[in-house]
Amino acid sequence: MDWLRSHIAQHPRFAIGLGKALLLAGSILIVGAVFARAGLSNTNAERAAAKLPPLHTLAEAYPQYPTWLVPEGPLGFSIAALLVLAGTGLTGLAEKVAKRRDARSTP
């Protein structure tokens, strides 16, 4: 943990940018999964009306798209949540360091 704090102290602006990027990536994955699940539910409703068996994964419903990017199970959502938490934590630590650095440099 000390090596992380030393790197953040050396480059706080970079750490803030990296933290925001991790937060954004995790958030996009979660929101994308919500929309994908809604699309799958819509597709299954149409299939039920046509008396066809339901689809269980996004890859079955959308074979032409790279659906491996979208979290569908507990592991995928856990990874996305860890990205959000890591981004939030890194951004918080880096902003504290940046505020301390700015307070020291201002007379």
**Angle CA 94–95–101, to nearest 5:** 90
Model confidence at 106, pLDDT cuts 50, 70, 90, reads low
Q: Exposure pattern of 85-99 as b/e (b: 16+ CB <10 Å)?
A: ebbeebbebbeebbe
Mean pLDDT of 83-104: 92
Distance CA 90, CA 48 (A): 46
pLDDT digits (tens, 9 = 90+) for 33-64: 999 999 999 999 999 999 999 999 999 998 99
Q: Write down the pLDDT at residue 20.
A: 97
The reported pLDDT for the residue numbered 102 is 81
Mean pLDDT (the chain) is 92
Residues 93 and 14: their CA atoms lie apart, in Å, by: 12
Q: What is the pLDDT of residues 60-88, one digit of tens each?
A: 998 998 888 889 889 999 999 999 999 99
Question: Taking residues 93-99, what's their average pLDDT?
Answer: 92
Tokens at 17, concatenated: 């940018």
pLDDT at position 4, please?
87
Q: Using CA of residue 54, residue 60, residue 65, residue 70, what is the dihedral sign?
A: positive
